[in-house]
Structure 1
């Protein structure tokens, strides 16, 4: 699988996160939205869940994909604290992105077509609750999830 879009999406997100960090106190997030640290913690968790699904599919193990923990504000705070704040989260997201690209690149078409029982929520609403091919989880990350969070980060710039 060509990982260029996934790699580029991670780079763009990290560039936006760095710009927000350099700008210092920027715009507060709109009510009900996340600040930069929460966005980065969320992306870190989503990347980790995706890595888990990729490794499981490659090993022939049964896997699922569930983003609920990546939505939980307590968990986001805990991940941020464990990473050492926003700088640590940026590094974690960078490394998770590299790992994900390295793991996805050699997968066969059959592995990429592995149906993964998936539960995706956004703002408390179910977006997906059905098996999704592994390739679609990865391309969705590159084409929708990461660019959406990149836009969220850029909206925090003063």
Structure 2
């Protein structure tokens, strides 16, 4: 797979995440640390699905744990400050891109069941190709959270 777009999306995301002055969401939504923890969780889940496909398993992508406040708090608590959390998210994003770079066309075309939520809204409940899942991060997921961080200024 070509991860140029995904790497570019992450570059913009990390530029925004490293800017000073990120406050609380005016609408009561996630703060910067929660956004970072969510992106880390989604990236790890996506990497796990990709590795599962390569191993011959038939994994399922379900992002509900990536939205769970207990899980986000756990991830945040494991890191001593935002800079360490950003470094961990950066490492996980690089790992995901490295895994995706190595996917064959056949592996990228494997269809996996996907269940995607955003808050209480169901976004997707149908099979999607592994490439579609990864490319969705570049085309939608990471840019949405980049804008979310920008709104915290």
TM-score range, shorter chain: over 0.9
Whether 2:8 is the aligned partner of 1:12: answer no
Whole-angstrom CA distance in 1 between matches of 2:80 and 2:132: 32
1:112, distance to aligned residue in structure 2 (A): 0.4
Among 74, 78, 89, which residue is 1:78 paired with?
74
Q: Which of 32, 45, 48 is 1:49 aligned to? A: 45
Per the alignment, residue 144 of structure 1 pairs with 140
- Secondary structure of the residue aligned to 1:83 is coil
The match for 1:38 is: 34
Distance 2:125 2:84 in 1: 32
The offset of 1:92, in angstroms, is 1.2
Q: Tell me the equivalent position of 2:104.
A: 108
Distance in 2, Cα, partners of 1:106 & 1:74: 33
Unpaired runs of 5+ residues, structure 1, are none
Q: Offset of 1:28 from its aligned partner?
A: 2.7
Shift of 1:27: 4.5
Higher mean alpha-carbon deviation, 44-53 vs 104-113, is at 104-113
List per-residue Cα deviations over 1:37-62 (Å, max 9, x = no partner): 00000000000001101111111112
- Once the two structures are superposed, residues 24-43 of structure 1 have per-residue CA deviations (whole angstroms, 9 ceiling, x without a partner) of xx443032410000000000
Stretches (4+) displaced over 4 A: none
Q: Which residue of 2 aligns with 1:121?
A: 117
CA 1:74 to 1:9, structure 2 compared with 1: closer, same or farther past 3 Å?
A: same
Give distance in 2, aligned partners of 1:85 and 1:117.
35
Deviations 1:124-154 (A, max 9, x none): 1111111110000000001100000000001
Task: Tell me how far apart the structure 1 counterparts of residues 10 and 151 of structure 2 sit (CA, whole Å).
Answer: 17
TM-score by length of 1: 0.92
Gap regions ≥5 residues in structure 2: none
RMSD, aligned CA: 1.1
Q: CA deviation at 1:97?
A: 1.1
| CA separation of 1:148 and 1:63: change in aligned 2, threshold 3 A | same
TM-score, normalised with respect to structure 2 = 0.95
